Structure 1
Amino acid sequence: MRLEILPVPGIGHVTEGDDLAVLIGSAAPWLRDGDVLVVTSKIISKAEGRLVDVPADGPDRQAARDRVLAAETARVVASRGATRIVQTHHGFVMASAGIDASNVDKTRLVLLPEDPDASARALRAGLRERYGVNVAIIVSDTMGRPWRNGLTDVALGVAGMDAIRDHRGEVDPYGNELVLTQMAVVDELAGAGELIKGKCDQMPVAVIRGYLTPPLTEDGEGARVLVRDASMDLFSLGTAEARAAGMAAAATLPDRPGDTAPDPAVVDQAIASVADAIAPGTVFTQVTDDEARRALTAIVPGWPTDATALVLCSPPTPVGPVQLVRFGTDVQRLRTALAAVDVPAQLLPPPNGTTAAATLAL
């Protein structure tokens, strides 16, 4: 495969209501079937009127920007100082919801296109109707990456090609079947187009030639297939936000045992993890001997029939009111440590005739 990346100069300043198909087609009469146009989302937003008026500077400008950001945000993923990483209503996870103040008058902010896939389809249809060319459109914007420094362009909207090339089921030269490999080819092409477009060169469109042979007749599913559902995202929160969510969850732990028997080694690890945080003399003992556990559970008031493991919780001696309060805190520390490794626990009274002050049923 041989690829060419071609600039499209001469598009000029884009304003609300401009026909991008005419602007691009006039600037690139050399377009041919199968070309992939990488179009900066900003000129689409400008043509579609996705701009907001704000003060040119000062605290009022920041306050206005904050209001716009809140309106464009579906949920906050992470924040550090003035930086906000959010999920937009499209599903994209981006800094500041993709709101941009570059290459626009200082009294305006540019928002992302409302529906980048629809914008790509409309531009593709316009070029086909006016100039008779069957091209693919990638609406691109710049994003950061969670594991690497630096930015790159990615696809927000797509029409005329598949967003993902699925290699699953293929066999590599060594005879290994590929089971996970799905390449986001439109992101790769968006990044390639950015090499030509740049950020300060007023070159909002690049053409990639040689990738599509032949071009698709249909628009395809668009870039929405690239958006990972938050429930499947292993990094759906920032570190501080995940910690805060965990601490909030620790305050509302369900008081019940788990549905399956916990691994004794995992329970011991949870006990060890709080050893340096609990009061001296507080002892947590996991009872692993089957006969001893059966004898103790028989005399624990309210022992749940579905519980399969037991931890005895003993406070330091002598124990007074202050020490008992601290002991309760330490028991909650252990319940939180157990919950962190998916071991729910129910707090119960101690077995009669023991030195324990509480029991955890697991």
Structure 2
Amino acid sequence: MTNTDVSARLLRWFDRHGRKDLPWQSETSPGQRDAYRVWLSEVMLQQTQVATVLAYFERFVAALPTLRDLACADEDTVLALWSGLGYYRRARFLHRAAQICVEQHGGELPRDFAALAALPGIGRSTAGAILAQAHGLRFPILDGNVKRVLTRYHGIDGDLATSAVERQLWLHAEAHTPVRRVADYTQAIMDLGATVCARSNPRCDACPLAGECVAFREGRTAQLPARKAGKSIPTRATVMLVLRDTRQRILLERRGPQGVWSGLWSLPEATDADDAWRIAQRHARIDDAQALAPFTHVFSHYRLNVEPLLFDQATARQEVADDAQLRWCSAGDLAALGLPAPVRKLLQHLTAEKNLRSA
């Protein structure tokens, strides 16, 4: 099958089965999609599935409908809107890139490929996706779904992370990208990878490329792309302090710039119960502590066992007001802050439980 045949088959498949009603696909003028919405969707879809992204996308653009709105927002607002999507560095890059666009590009995403790809969080594939989908410009993409399609179709062995394999995939991506209907083709090959050429149990019987797919012909769809050797992830433990004062406010601490949840507001942490008491006494006058149900949160590189410890009816010390990294927050305040998803869930559960007992 020629490169033209590949794109033609994908476009025919897309016309019948592709996703055409996604909220970032709406056009501002014939053939022109809103580059800001396309960019936001591309960043959100990194490491996250469409079904999960939809609600976050709608909430984000309702609060920050334009690139200038994003650039002018404070970081807490951006992180609060992102809270639950994870990989928070994406949100910070998005925020900083919007500010650079206002400072250097007239408040718009640049249409020049090099300038666009140079923005924080926008690499070659994301830049190509924005220019192809928003402006119909002929640029290839190579996200995870596309890599899987091309690896199987061409029967490419080897680790996808190596530069040699990546160069090979980019050559194929470039060759298959058509001159016309670039936006539809870009969506088509992403849709094919997401809905048909899935990582597990691909639906080869529904694939328009199955007839010439090397992996399908050789019975190697389970082996391609080559999987990295599995490795066990370490387990860490922490005690989270839930300090709740007599006004039902919770003490939050802004995390540092390094490590997971960097820059988010979270609960103070301790190494063990004794350490938790020492930290709690620095911030408030306390009488008792109650162990809450422990839980485990899994990151990409380690597992975190959390033991929450509730210090209820605490009396806030003045020192907290003098520390910019600490703040007492009401239930209403929490909605406007970027909180790690498990912390937000824990606090929502506590609030609901308190309301039930008060009813």
Q: Shared fold (TM-score greater than 0.5)?
A: no
TM-score, normalization by structure 2 = 0.27
More helix per residue: 1 or 2?
A: 2
More strand per residue: 1 or 2?
A: 1
